[in-house]
Amino acid sequence: MNDAEKKNSGKERVLVHKNPGLAAVLSFFIVGLGQIYNGQVGKGFGLMAAAAVSGLLCWVGVGFVLLPAVWFFAVWDAYRTAERLNREAAAPPAA
């Protein structure tokens, strides 16, 4: 159950459509922003922190591998999560 459904107190189901392309583009430009758009605020800020630490680790060389991995994961995860949220919103409610 997503946040919009929880706020509704179960009286009626609110469908929230998330655009997977927009989520991916947001994370492409700012790591974690797509997750925040999808409602995963903690994950979004966590990925932002991971990207910042990876950027600092570029000084010792490890960040040159870690930073692109964090960035790619953020884009992929934002897209995948938006698709999952849309599938869950379209599914009939469980009895």
Q: How far is CA 22 from CA 13, 76, 78, in A?
A: 24, 12, 9
Question: Is residue 95 included in any domain, yes or no?
Answer: no
Tell whether 27 is covered by a domain.
yes
31 falls within a domain: yes
pLDDT tens, position by position, 48-75? 999 999 999 999 999 999 999 999 999 9
DSSP assignment string, 1-66: --HHHHHTTTSSPPP----HHHHHHHHHHSTTHHHHHTT-HHHHHHHHHHHHHHHHGGGGTTHHHH
pLDDT per residue over 1-51, tens digit each?
555 555 555 556 666 799 999 999 999 999 999 999 999 999 999 999 999
Q: How many domains does the chain have?
A: 1
Structure tokens at 52: 């910042």
Q: Is residue 26, in this structure, part of any structural domain at all?
A: yes
Token couple for 34: 């797509």
> Domain for residue 57, yes or no?
yes
In-domain check, residue 43: yes
Question: Whole-prediction pTM value?
Answer: 0.80
Q: Which domain holds residue 47?
A: 3-90
| Nearest-angstrom CA–CA distance, 90 and 27 | 24
